[in-house]
Amino acid sequence: MKLTRFAAAGLMSAALALMGGVALAQDAPSVLVTTINMTADDIPTIDPTLSETVTSVDVLNHLFPGVTMSDVATGELELGIATAITPTPNDDGSVLYTIDLLEGVAWVRYNAESGAVEQVTDADGNPLFVTAADAVYGMTRALDPATAAPYSYVLLPFVTGAPEFNAGEADASTLGVSIVDENTYTILAPDSAAFAPAVFGLWMARPVPQIAIDAFGDSWTDPANIATYGPYALKEWVRGTGGSISVVVNPFWAGAENIPAATIEEVQWRFLDQPQAFAEYEAGNIQAIDVPVDQVPRVQADPVLSAEYYRGVEPCTYYLGFDNTEAPTDNVHLRRALSYSIDRVAIADNVLQIGWIAAGWFSRPGLNAAPTPELNPDLGVTFDLEFAQAELAIALEELGIANAADLSLTYSYNDTARNALIAQVIQQQWTENLGVTVAVNPMEGSTYFSTISEEHPGIARVGWCKDYNDASNFLYDVMYSQSSQNDVNFSNAEFDELVSQARLMTDTEERRALYARAEEILNEEEAAIAPLFWYAVNSLIKPNLEYVPSVVTNQAYNEWSFSG
Amino acid sequence: MTKFILRRLLWMILVMFVVSVITFGLMRAVPGGPFSREKPLPQATLDALNAKYRLDEPLIVQYLVYMGDIVVPRIGPQTVPSADEDYLIEFQLPAIFGENQSFKWVNFGPTYSARGRSVNDIFRENMPVSAQLGVAAFLVAVSIGIPLGVAAALNRNKWQDFGAMGVSIIGVSVPVIISAPVLQYLVGVQWRILPVTGWGTLNHLILPAFTLGFASSALIARLMRASLLQVMNEDYIRTARAKGVAESGVITFHALKNGLLPVVTVLGPLFAALVTGTFVVETVFGVPGIGRYFVTAVQGRDYPVVMGTILLYAGVLVISNLLVDVVYAWLDPRIRFD
């Protein structure tokens, strides 16, 4: 059957295309077409459990909102489809979280024949609603080693029994997740990390429809098979470059306290490269795009485009990792010399010109409990030539090298135009400021990422973006000595103590003070890494749209509207 | 002729086998893996993923399992759709084979970069798009290239010749990575005559097909001109003229048919290259074809997609060349293959 379908599809569509073909539906004014956060490649999946890219999460947030969500405008954590999350501390330090779900949230599916969103029913025709069982199933499915969910590891420290179950050493019954009643379930967390509710709301922990997954297997996310519950419902998914994914308003979504029902009738994400998205924006066919970086100066200078231009926060940090255990970068004075001799402001303002901010430390300001330039004005690495040269002199003496030019250093990066540009400027600054000759080593992406995990190449470019909105996601999850993400092999007892302690505290200002001290150790005293930039996003949005500027990368289109 | 075709088909199996071994070997020799990420995955997650896709087994076993899934037909009950077990050919068998048994054949495996999707899904959904664009571009190339070449040859060193060759120089020397965005900007954004990107209507087809076809037409035009000039000097053309055949008849029935031979030779590989998709044109014009997968699969170490697309290309290439040989025999009756 499938052969005939394949062959017939090819021949028929060739014929159709030549005869004039079927016209695509004309965009009604109620449709928002966007490429923000998209790339030229198809979205890998919209299965919440299996997602790992910004593209996936941006779409699935509208279909499967979590029990908690980050407010797009402030980044603050708020309740999503939960009406309450109640922590009950136990004597052993563990915490039982009781999660009450919003009642009457319907599972829905778009019917392509009738053109309407319909409720999903069970075999007897009774409509199905999101229950505690769906939430527990979603969590269990994410942690099941058979699922091989790439992002499941983020959940592991927050659910009792999860590491053992995920490693295949225990079965699902040992997992600290239980159903209490129709709309209530509990999660037992092994410790009192205050931001655990943020993790419980992440995409891989979202409720998913077991009935659809059991019936349709891997094809359950096809528009004809899927069941969703958020403010939008999946309408169509054209796979591949230039394709698109479309969602329409879900009339059964009554709105949660922080997740309003949508006003824009239909949202379509298109998979285009940035130059093509820009061309379509100029042609008036796309209403919201990321600006191609080489076009930012032009956009800012253009009287029309500059009025539609928006520069926002992206919660990511760009940094150089030094191998802390192998010569010569195991020498702290050399690391300090390298870090303090980079003029970050000059690179950001004169070379990049895309709104990136010179970073003095690792955890991006704006994250919960992260230090900020306003509250911690003296913190962080700066451009200090005198100090850098003094440190270099000590380093050379300790390393027994007579001349700075005899140092053998290699700066590796995954080869993109931007990474190459930054590498070349830093290479030049090191030569001018320190007299050090550094070789730059561009590598193909996949090779590079496996290399820095397995055998760190001395000096390497890295980027880190938040999973959940807390400084712990940067400082503990990446730089803790035992973290699987700690590619630079940084290990400092005081740092470990600080980030472990801050992780379990509740008062934000007290935590911020500990993180500020931890950052001081990481970047200034040990110079384990050289933080370089905090990212920014550059968007163009048509003037007839009322939008909510996002500080969390992902967008909430259910909060947008056409202004007429 | 039948014997020749059969022999070539047997050769094709050998060629495909060699291509598969070389591709498999090369792709696994490259460092990095399908799950190398900027945010590295913990070992437990990597182990689970490797186990799921059987990447933890010896290479030879992986190769045999992979080829077995493609080549060996099987019979079994219908199962829930799964990217790991998605067969290009699957149909229900009559009851004598047992209840609810299906015949299943040709499984190119899952793609690692899009969870829950199979390589066969890419073949089903994206390959037809590339094929349509490729056929259209091929027609553009032939219908511009051959008349241009003929006009140039028949008017050697006249303005028609210089004009035609000038056009083809442009076609040869301006790569599609330049011409595609320029055409897109002028026709789509400035003049708003045709859609900027997308797929689905005849209007969406025009720009990418022209961009792709025009670049190839230049090669055809130059070959056609050179070949026709040579043929026009052959004895049999003089003979035809001596017999009193009208000049139009000489050109149509004697010169053109023979002059096409070298052109047909390049049309085979050209056709194969066009119908299996092109990275630049598909990316620039937002055409959801298969061309981009050739590149992204290698970058992402998406092994089954690398294998699938390369085997597809090799298969189309071999068949196109077979067709070229058949056309040879028709064009020049002196060529016999048996």
What is the ipTM score, two decimals? Answer: 0.91
Sequence ranges of the domains in chain A: 27-286+542-562, 314-537
Residue of B nearest to A477 (CA): B39
Tell me the C-alpha distance between A215 and A210, whole Å: 8
Q: Show residues of chain B in contact with A280, CB under 8 Å.
A: 196-197
Tell me the C-alpha distance between A108 and A130, whole Å: 10
Query: Residue A449 and residue B38: Cβ atoms within 8 Å?
Result: yes
User: CB of A40 within 8 Å of any CB in chain B?
Assistant: yes
pLDDT for residue B98: 82
Instruction: For helices B2-29 and B303-331, give the axis angle rounded to 10 degrees.
Output: 150
User: CB of A238 within 8 Å of any CB in chain B?
Assistant: yes
Query: Residue B49 and residue A148: Cβ atoms within 8 Å?
Result: yes
Q: Show residues of chain A in contact with B135, CB under 8 Å.
A: 14
- Beta-strand relationship, A438-443 and A409-414: parallel
Tell me the C-alpha distance between B199 and B181, whole Å: 16
Residue of A nearest to B128 (CA): A10
Q: Which residue in the set A13, A218, A242 is minimally distant from B83, CB to CB?
A: A218
Given a contact cutoff of 8 angstroms between Cβ atoms, the answer to whether A46 and A62 are in contact is: no
User: CB of A49 within 8 Å of any CB in chain B?
Assistant: no
Work out the minimum CA distance from A399 to partner chain B, whole angstroms: 32
Please give the distance of CA A515 from its chain centroid, rounded to a whole number. Answer: 21
Instruction: Report the number of distinct structural domains present in chain B.
Output: 1
Given a contact cutoff of 8 angstroms between Cβ atoms, the answer to whether A198 and A68 are in contact is: yes
Structure tokens at A114: 């009738």
Question: What are the residues facing A228 on neighbouring strands?
Answer: A108
- Please list the pLDDT of chain B residue by residue as tens digits (338 residues): 788 888 888 988 999 999 999 999 999 999 888 998 888 888 888 898 999 899 999 999 999 999 999 999 999 888 888 888 899 998 888 888 888 889 999 999 999 988 889 999 999 999 999 999 999 999 999 999 999 999 999 999 999 999 999 999 998 899 999 999 999 999 999 999 999 999 999 999 999 999 999 999 999 999 999 999 999 999 989 998 999 888 888 888 889 888 998 999 999 999 999 999 899 999 999 999 999 999 999 999 999 999 999 999 999 999 999 899 888 888 877 776 65
Tell me the C-alpha distance between B190 and B173, whole Å: 25
pLDDT for residue A156: 94
Q: Show residues of chain A in contact with B34, CB under 8 Å.
A: 446
Q: Which residue in the set A41, A279, A464 is minimally distant from B185, CB to CB?
A: A279
Given a contact cutoff of 8 angstroms between Cβ atoms, the answer to whether A275 and A292 are in contact is: yes
Q: Which residue in the set A1, A44, A152 is minimally distant from B115, CB to CB?
A: A44
Is the domain covering A314-537 a CATH 3.10.105.10 domain?
A: yes
Radius of gyration of chain A (CA): 25
Whether B32 is in a domain gets the answer: no
pLDDT tens for B182-198 read 999 999 999 999 999 99
Best mutation site among A54, A446, A467 for testing chain B: the one with the most B CBs within 10 Å?
A446
Instruction: For helices B303-331 and B256-275, give the axis angle rounded to 10 degrees.
Output: 170
pLDDT for residue A383: 97
Query: Residue B196 and residue A449: Cβ atoms within 8 Å?
Result: no
pLDDT for residue A396: 95
Tell me the C-alpha distance between B218 and B145, whole Å: 6
pLDDT for residue A30: 86
Q: Which residue in the set B81, B196, B205 is minimally distant from A276, CB to CB?
A: B196
Q: Show residues of chain B in contact with A484, CB under 8 Å.
A: 40, 42-43
Is the domain covering A27-286+542-562 a CATH 3.90.550.10 domain?
A: no
Q: Show residues of chain A in contact with B40, CB under 8 Å.
A: 449, 452-453, 484-485, 487
User: CB of A47 within 8 Å of any CB in chain B?
Assistant: yes
Please, which contacts does B308-311 make with residues 24 or more away whose CB atoms are closer than 8 Å?
Answer: B308/B108, B308/B109, B308/B119, B308/B122, B308/B123, B309/B122, B309/B276, B310/B19, B310/B23, B311/B16, B311/B19, B311/B20, B311/B23, B311/B70, B311/B108
Q: Show residues of chain A in contact with B184, CB under 8 Å.
A: 276, 279
Instruction: Tell me A354's DSSP state.
Output: S
Count of other CB atoms within 10 angstroms of residue B172: 16
pLDDT for residue A29: 64
Query: Residue A1 and residue B90: Cβ atoms within 8 Å?
Result: yes
pLDDT along chain A (564 residues), means of 10: 41 41 47 95 95 94 97 94 96 96 97 96 94 97 93 94 93 95 97 94 97 94 97 96 96 95 97 95 95 92 95 94 93 97 96 95 95 95 96 95 91 93 97 95 90 88 93 95 91 97 94 97 97 96 94 94 84
Q: Which residue in the set A17, A24, A464 is minimally distant from B132, CB to CB?
A: A17
| Per-position b or e across A421-456, b if 16+ CB within 10 A of its CB | ebbebbbebbeebbebebebbebebbbbbbbbbeeb
Query: Residue A449 and residue B90: Cβ atoms within 8 Å?
Result: no
Please give the distance of CA A265 from its chain centroid, rounded to a whole number. Answer: 27
- How many beta-carbon pairs below 8 A join chains A and B? 229
Range of the domain at B251: 127-289
Q: Which residue in the set A216, A445, A464 is minimally distant from B80, CB to CB?
A: A216
- Beta-strand relationship, A68-70 and A77-79: antiparallel
Q: What is the CATH number of the domain that holds B214?
A: 1.10.3720.10
Please, which contacts does A59-62 make with residues 24 or more away whose CB atoms are closer than 8 Å?
Answer: A59/A245, A59/A247, A59/A269, A60/A203, A60/A206, A61/A203, A61/A230, A61/A554, A61/A556, A62/A230, A62/A231, A62/A232, A62/A247, A62/A262, A62/A267, A62/A556, A62/A557, A62/A558
User: CB of A13 within 8 Å of any CB in chain B?
Assistant: yes
Q: Which residue in the set B35, B44, B197 is minimally distant from A280, CB to CB?
A: B197
